[in-house]
Each structure stands twice: as C-alpha cells, then as structure tokens.
C-alpha cells in the first residue's frame, strides 16, 4: 500500500465514512460578542453525539454587526439530528432554555431551506398573549416580552436534509502532548471553514467507539483496535510506538464543506511535521457499507 506522506506524516489510504443528517443554522445576537457566545455555548452544550445527547451542535463562527439582521454582534450555530422531527424538538428545547433565557439575546434564522422548522412560532407562547408579531419583507418575527425588555425571535428557520454527520480524522502519535497539540491546531483551522462544526469537547474526541459490545444493551463500546494500552491483547490497528490517538468528528451542512474542513485539518496537523511526534493521519469507517458518504483522505489532500 503506497501511503502518502505529508512532512513525514503518513496519510493512510483510507476514507471517513459519514452519514446523512438534517441540519439547521440559527443566528444568535446579543449586546456583545461575549454574551452572544455565552448564549450559543449554553445552547450547544451537551450536544456531542446524537447517541446520548439527542443532537450534535456547535458554534460555526462569529458574525460581525453588518452580517446580523439587527446589526448587533452575533454567533452562528449549527444543529444536527438524524430526522426533522427530532431536530424540531431539540431546536425548541435548546433555544427555549438557553437563548430565550440569555440576557439581551435575539434569535434569527440563518438558513433558507425548502422545509421550515418552527422557531419563534413555538417560543411565542411564552409571551402568554402579550407577544407581538411583526412581518418585515415577508418574514415574520416575534417580540416576546421578558424581564430585560423583549426577546426578538424569527418565526421560522430553514432546514437542510443534505447535511452530513460523522466526517472524521484519526490522529496517531508518539506522545499524547504531540497529538493533542496537532488536533487543537486542526480544530482551529476547521473553524474557519463555513458550514461545519466539530461537536466534541474543544472539537476533539478521545473515546472513539465501535458498534456493539460484549455487554447486552450496550450499543457502542471502546474502539479497542485504537486503544494504545491494548496493543498486545487485541487485533490492534496501531504500531507499537503509538502512545495516543485522538479523533476529530465533523458535521457539515454539505458534504463539500466537510471535505474542505478535513483538508484544512490535515494540513494544520501536518504543519508540525513528524518531528512533533504525530506519525499517522487516518480515518474511521465501517467498511463502507453503512454510510453513503466516503471521504477518501488521499483525494482530500490531493
């Protein structure tokens, strides 16, 4: 197998296997960037994986005053689930509990889509009859009275069924420090790519999983083939000198956005070269039979 090398780091000839998801984008504005981000972080907290959190969510990026509908500092948030019904529930609960409650916040649609989700259309009932509907340029907004004035919220937000979840990179290295530093760089580079989020803590996951378990009822369990401490005991995918493996999972509004993010990530990791201690960049898949989206590392780096 002729593996590609980038600054001495082996790019394994494999692919990331990803799945279709439904996704949406909302814009949160506030009196300052700090408060828009607090609101967005709260809303996207506990949203690393659909398996246990019901949704995958993250901050896509900051928006300047001139990019937001009300001219205040803003943050764009992406939210993904496996179907539109769950996305609606997650959106209502998360915006209702974390954005509506956040001081000075307002919430707008960030995506035009063929199908719509209710945003203010369901949160307006918090207004107990005092809510005010305003239509501007064909879009409806709700003004909901709250204790610091009014919560302004757009009625509907678009959704896309072309979203993709589970794009990933696995980074192998000779020390935990080296792998963590490289992955941190990669997440930062990916954050510049529009239309993607990395939902795990700081964008990085250390507990990659395999499907199934020896225990009944446990649907996912540790990916033993990539656990350095089990190299001698299981059919390991790791060379003996590997001390740590970290994974970056990427969700995107389009498959193209994921390709771009993976490209940015791989190059950011490779910037340190093999001297930093990273040895391999690979990706997770299930043999290619489960997910329709295959992101081949060689083509992405290409």
Partner 1 sequence: MTALTFELKHTPDQRLDLSPLVPAKLAGLNRKEIEALEIGTTRQKLTVGAAFKLKGKDANALHFVGTDDRCDKIGAGLSGGEIHVEGDAGAYLGAGMKSGKITVRGSAGVLAGASMAGGHIAVSRNVGDQACGVAVGDTTGMKGGFVTIGGHAGALLGERMRRGLVVVGGKAGDYAGGRMIAGTLLLRRGAGRYAGYGNRRGSLIFMEKPRDILPTFSDCGVMEFDYLRLLEQWLRGQGMSVRLGARARRLMGDMAVLGKGEMLILA
Which residues form the interface with partner 1 (CB under 8 A)?
Answer: 29, 69-72, 106, 130, 132-137, 141, 143, 149-150, 152
- Quote the CA–CA distance of 276 and 297 in Å, as a whole number: 21
Partners of 282 in the β-ladder: 170
CB of 154 to partner 1, least distance (A): 9
**Cβ atoms within 10 A of the Cβ of 149, count?**
10
Nearer to partner 1, 71 or 177 (CB): 71
Residue with smaller CB distance to partner 1, 130 or 286: 130
The nearer residue to partner 1, 7 or 140, going by C-beta atoms, is 140
Comparison of 31 and 177: residue with beta carbon closer to partner 1: 31
Tell me how crowded residue 301 is: count the other CB atoms within 10 A of its CB.
15
- Angle, alpha carbons 192-49-225 (nearest 5°): 95
End-to-end CA distance of the chain: 17
Q: How far is the CB of 38 from partner 1 (least distance, A)?
A: 17
CA–CA distance from 192 to each of 53, 151, 204, 254, 262 (Å)?
A: 25, 30, 16, 15, 12
Which is nearer to partner 1, 5 or 134 (by Cβ)?
Answer: 134
Q: Least distance from C-beta 125 to partner 1, angstroms?
A: 16
* Shortest CB 99 distance to partner 1, Å: 13
Instruction: Pick the closer one to partner 1 by CB: 134 or 161.
Output: 134
| Nearest distance from C-beta of residue 104 to partner 1, angstroms | 8
Query: Minimum distance from CB of 40 to partner 1 (Å)?
Result: 17
Place of tokens 């005991």: 233
Tell me how far, at minimum, the Cβ of 110 lies from partner 1, in Å: 15
Distances, alpha carbon 83 to alpha carbons 53, 87, 123, 290, in Å: 14, 6, 21, 17
Q: Which is nearer to partner 1, 80 or 108 (CB)?
A: 108
Ranges of H-type helices in the chain:
33-43, 50-53, 84-94, 120-123, 176-190, 255-270, 297-301
Cα–Cα dist 95/28, whole Å: 10
Q: What 3-state class would DSSP assign to 270?
A: helix
């Amino acid at each position: 197998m002729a593996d590609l090398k980038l600054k001495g780091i082996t790019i394994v000839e494999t692919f990331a296997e990803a799945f279709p998801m439904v996704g949406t984008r909302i814009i949160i504005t506030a009196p300052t960037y700090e408060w828009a981000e607090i609101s967005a972080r709260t809303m996207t907290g506990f949203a690393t994986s659909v398996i246990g959190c019901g949704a995958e969510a993250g901050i896509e990026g900051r928006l300047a005053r001139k990019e937001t509908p009300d001219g205040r500092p803003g943050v764009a948030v992406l939210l993904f689930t496996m179907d539109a019904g769950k996305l609606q529930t997650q959106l209502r609960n998360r915006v209702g509990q974390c954005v509506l409650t956040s001081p000075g916040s307002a919430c707008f649609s960030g995506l035009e889509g063929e199908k719509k989700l209710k945003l203010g259309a369901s949160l307006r009932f918090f207004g107990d009859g005092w809510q005010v509907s305003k239509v501007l340029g064909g879009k409806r907004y709700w003004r909901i009275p709250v204790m610091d004035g009014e919560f302004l919220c757009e009625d509907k937000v678009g959704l896309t069924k072309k979203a993709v979840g589970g794009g990933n990179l696995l980074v192998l290295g000779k020390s935990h420090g080296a792998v963590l530093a490289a992955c941190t760089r990669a997440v930062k580079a990916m954050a510049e790519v529009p239309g993607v989020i990395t939902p795990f803590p700081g964008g990085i996951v250390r507990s990659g999983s395999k499907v199934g378990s020896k225990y009944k009822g446990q649907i996912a369990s540790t990916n033993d083939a990539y656990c350095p401490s089990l190299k001698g005991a299981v059919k390991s995918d790791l060379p003996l000198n590997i001390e740590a493996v970290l994974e970056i999972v990427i969700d995107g509004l389009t498959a193209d956005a994921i390709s771009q993010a993976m490209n940015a990530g791989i190059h950011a990791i490779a910037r340190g070269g093999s001297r930093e201690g990273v040895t391999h960049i690979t990706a997770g898949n299930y043999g290619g039979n489960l997910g329709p989206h295959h992101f081949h590392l060689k083509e992405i780096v290409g």
